[in-house]
Amino acid sequence: MTFSEHEIHRADLVESLVDGFLTEADARSITDRHPEIIDAIVPWIREAARTGNWPRVEKFANLAASLRVVGLGMALQEILDSDALGYNAEDLVDILGEIQEADAAACLLRVAERSVSKDAPAYWLCQKVISSLGEIGTPEAFELTRQMTAPPWPDAVRWHAAAELGIEEELGFDEDRMLG
């Protein structure tokens, strides 16, 4: 999809208003001045992703998250499930947890499965996935987190998953040994 010059100008204008940390009040102020962005922002995210404009994706995703825009979760899942390079997966994973996107639980697990071999030794992305699954809080999200407590997941991932669920003692996990 390509946009008209007018649509590109609107997206550029809104992007210029999204600078740095964005509070909910900031987001409301932007939409008060430009109410049309509620319907336009998800297509703008998809177009920015299509062209690899990851800073724009991140700005618009943060704005859309503050506004709880319908369709944001699906757009972020599409990006996370794509073969695209260059985007900040940790931020997109965080946003899915923040908006409690229930449909994203399986996508988040796929992100962790794809990243685990490259995420060592701290497993930051896996930790973000676990945290977002906890924020989502559905039975499916808890079950997927529970799956991450078992082998073949690395000990550090297993520990963080168990800690998120509050079952590390039940599983007999020793924090010092597992986080070595």
Per-residue pLDDT tens over the stretch 1-48: 567 887 888 888 888 888 767 888 999 999 999 999 999 999 999 999
Q: What is the pLDDT of residues 127-147, one digit of tens each?
A: 999 999 999 999 999 999 999
Q: How high is the mean pLDDT of the chain?
A: 93
Reported confidence tier of residue 166, pLDDT bands at 50, 70, 90: very high
Per-residue pLDDT at 2: 64
Q: Does 180 score more than 80 pLDDT?
A: no
Per-residue pLDDT at 102: 97
Nearest Cα to Cα of residue 12 among 25, 32, 47, 24: 47
Per-residue pLDDT at 1: 57
Structure tokens at 18: 């999204």
Of 3-7, 8-12, 110-114, 161-165, the poorest mean pLDDT is in: 3-7
- Rounded alpha-carbon distances, angstroms, from residue 102 to 38, 107, 115, 133, 177: 21, 10, 21, 9, 33
Model pTM? Answer: 0.92
DSSP assignment of 59-70 equals: HHHHHHHHHT-T
